Amino acid sequence: MKRTLAAGDVLFSEGDAAGSAYLVESGSLAVVADDEGSEVLLSELGAGAILGEMAVIDAAPRTATVRAITDAVLIEIDRGQLAERIERSDPVVRSLLEGLLKRYRGAMSAMRGQVAEAEDGFDHGGGMGKIRLESQLREALANNGLDLRLQPLLEIARDELGGYEALVRWNHPERGPVSPAEFIALAEETSLIVPVGEYVLDHACRALKALHAGGRSPFIAINVSARQLAEQGLIDRIVARTTESGLPHAALKVEITESLSLDYGMVAEVIAECHGHGIKVAMDDFGTGYSGMEHLHRLEFDTVKIDQAYARNMHASKRAMAILQHMVGMVHDLGADVVVEGIEEAAQLEVLQELGVRYAQGYLIGKPQPLSDWLV
Ligand code: C2E
Ligand code: CA
Ligand code: CA
């Protein structure tokens, strides 16, 4: 919406409630503030300038008056247009913006001899909490504050542990163990996911060496997110690390956790690369979220891990049981192995046995435990 002002017109006054922001199309405007009865010119704005956006961002009253110096044409920017974008932006950026505004307003008050409001306690966007957590995670990485747990997979027909899934834990100094569901997502927002992945790979290889030295040859499956897949050279690093450790490449498996951003071409390439080195690839959490039929259809996974929701509900819901049976049949027809996650009861394991499922994973088989617990 266009607004036209004649020279001398006031657009808004100091103390007014926050309304719209404006883009200057033509003309010039003065931003002035009242200093004990006399007017101070803060700035002059011409075509292309934005004004009134501060009050829109933090919903505080206008801290200055804007008056047209010459005739001027403005485009009114609706509050919602900016608010929506700010709402959608990264919470860290939002908090930084909030902090900067607070400081700017403080400086303006100080200029007028008023005592500025204390600067702590902002951060409505929660971004600073996130930044703090991220710094602590960086520190944990440097100081061995992460921990790798191994959860066993039972090879049902042989009644033996076939391998383990590597599940990372963060022992937070104040909060105790933080779930990977929380900090992996945080690490993925920046390149921090790279050293986290390195940590997991490194410790998985060490664990494999120790387990293989005991005479057994189980596999370890590591979780790789879509963001990690996008990093160049991931598979090369897996191959290099297993070779260095004197392990067969097939001792490591890769579990791909889905996300909307999954790029088929890239995943197909990663799978082909893994297959070239004898590394098997599993699709994680099948039956929920983003892991759908389209992925099964287009990508050559060796293993499909059926989400724990099906094990949990198989006895309470005929529908869950029917879907589970058909998923297992379908995955077998594709020539892939099945893992059913979340097995907590013997009756659930019996069902898997009847269906010819290869692997069971869950608290009944074993919880995620440190390597030392699996070496005895
Ligand atoms: P996921 O890959 O689906 O891992 C299985 C999760 O189910 C684990 O949670 C495990 O502790 C839990 N679980 C296993 N058996 C049972 C059971 O019988 N009952 C119940 N109620 N839960 C069971 P966790 O360790 O909290 O991991 C959460 C998710 O974080 C994982 O889900 C995985 O997606 C992700 N994650 C874990 N480690 C890594 C990692 O090193 N890298 C990446 N990118 N993601 C990871
Ligand atoms: Ca997994
Ligand atoms: Ca899973």
User: CA 201 to CA 142: how far, in whole Å?
Assistant: 16
> In sequence order, which residues have a C-beta less than 8 Å from that of residue 44 and are 6 or more positions away?
28, 29, 30, 31, 69
Which residues, judged by CB distance below 6 Å to any ligand atom, belong to the binding site of ligand 1? 151, 166-168, 179-181, 184, 200, 223-225, 228, 257, 284-285, 308, 342, 344, 361-363, 368
Computed from CA positions of residues 43, 46, 50, 53, in that sequence, does the dihedral angle turn out positive or negative?
positive
Q: Minimum-distance ligand to the CA of 168?
A: 1
List the structure tokens of 322.
């029917």
Mean pLDDT computed over 109-126: 62
Q: Residue 223: phi, psi to the nearest 5?
A: -85, 130
Q: Give the model confidence (pLDDT) of 305-344 as tens digits.
A: 999 999 999 999 999 999 999 999 999 999 999 999 999 9
Which pLDDT score, from 0 to 100, does residue 131 have?
81
Q: Would you say 307 and 265 are in contact if contact means Cβ atoms under 8 Å apart?
A: no
pLDDT per residue as tens digits for the range 361-370: 999 999 999 9
Ligand 1: centre distance to CA 169 (Å) = 10
Which residue owns the Cα nearest ligand 1 atom 25?
167
Mean pLDDT value of segment 12-30: 92
Per residue in 73-99, pLDDT (tens digit) is 998 988 888 878 888 888 888 888 888
- 2-88 belongs to CATH 2.60.120.10: yes
Distance 167 CA to ligand 1 centre (A): 6
- Starting at the edge strand that comes first in sequence, how are the strands of the sheet with 65-68 ordered? 10-12, 65-68, 29-35, 38-45
Report the pLDDT value the prediction gives residue 36, as an integer from 0 to 100: 80
Cα–Cα–Cα angle for 373, 374, 376, rounded to 5 degrees: 80
CA distance 291 to 306: 10
Percent with pLDDT over 70 in the chain: 94
DSSP state of 13: -
In this predicted structure, the answer to whether residue 291 has a pLDDT above a threshold of 70 is: no
CA separation for the pair 83, 88 (Å, rounded): 9
* CATH number belonging to domain 131-374: 3.20.20.450
Query: What's the predicted TM-score (pTM) here?
Result: 0.79
Q: Give, using CA atoms, the residue closest to atom 20 of ligand 1.
A: 342
Q: Among 113-122, 125-134, 164-173, 215-224, whose mean pLDDT is lowest?
A: 113-122
Q: What is the pLDDT of residue 258?
A: 66
Tokens of 159: 């009644």
How confident is the prediction for the chain on average, in pLDDT? 89
pLDDT digits (tens, 9 = 90+) for 39-49: 888 899 999 99
Are the beta carbons of 356 and 158 closer than 8 angstroms?
A: no
Of the candidates 306, 266, 272, 301, which has an alpha carbon nearest to the alpha carbon of residue 287? 306
For residue 295, the model assigns a pLDDT of: 83
pLDDT the model gives residue 174: 86
Alpha helices in 224-317 (DSSP H): 226-229, 234-244, 264-276, 293-298, 308-313
- Give 140 Cα–ligand 2 centroid separation in angstroms: 22
Predicted confidence (pLDDT) at residue 302 exceeds the cutoff of 90: yes
Structure tokens at 178: 């933080």
For a substitution probing ligand 1, which of 223, 314, 364 has the most ligand atoms within 8 Å of its CB? 223
CA of 167 to the centre of ligand 2 (A): 8
| Partners of 146 in beta bridges | 170
Residue 306 DSSP label = E
Query: Contact, 90 vs 127, CB < 8 A?
Result: yes
Q: Name the phi and psi angles at 368, rounded to 5.
A: -65, 120
pLDDT average, residue stretch 55-80: 88
Q: HSE (CB half, 13 Å, CA atoms) of 338?
A: 27
User: How far, rounded to the nearest angstrom, does the alpha carbon of residue 222 sit from its chain's CA centroid?
Assistant: 18
CATH 2.60.120.10 residue spans of the chain = 2-88
Q: What whole-number distance in Å separates Cα of residue 4 and Cα of residue 194?
A: 53
235 pLDDT more than 80: yes
Q: In the chain, at which residue ranges do the beta strands (DSSP E only) sit?
A: 2-5, 10-12, 21-26, 29-35, 38-45, 50-51, 65-68, 72-77, 146-155, 160-172, 176-178, 219-225, 252-257, 280-286, 303-306, 337-340, 359-361, 369-370
**pLDDT, mean of residues 187-212:** 92
Q: CA-based Rg of the chain, rounded to a whole angstrom?
A: 29
Q: What is the total residue count of the chain?
A: 376
Cα–Cα distance for residue pair 157/283, rounded to 1 Å = 22
CATH 3.20.20.450-classified regions of the chain: 131-374
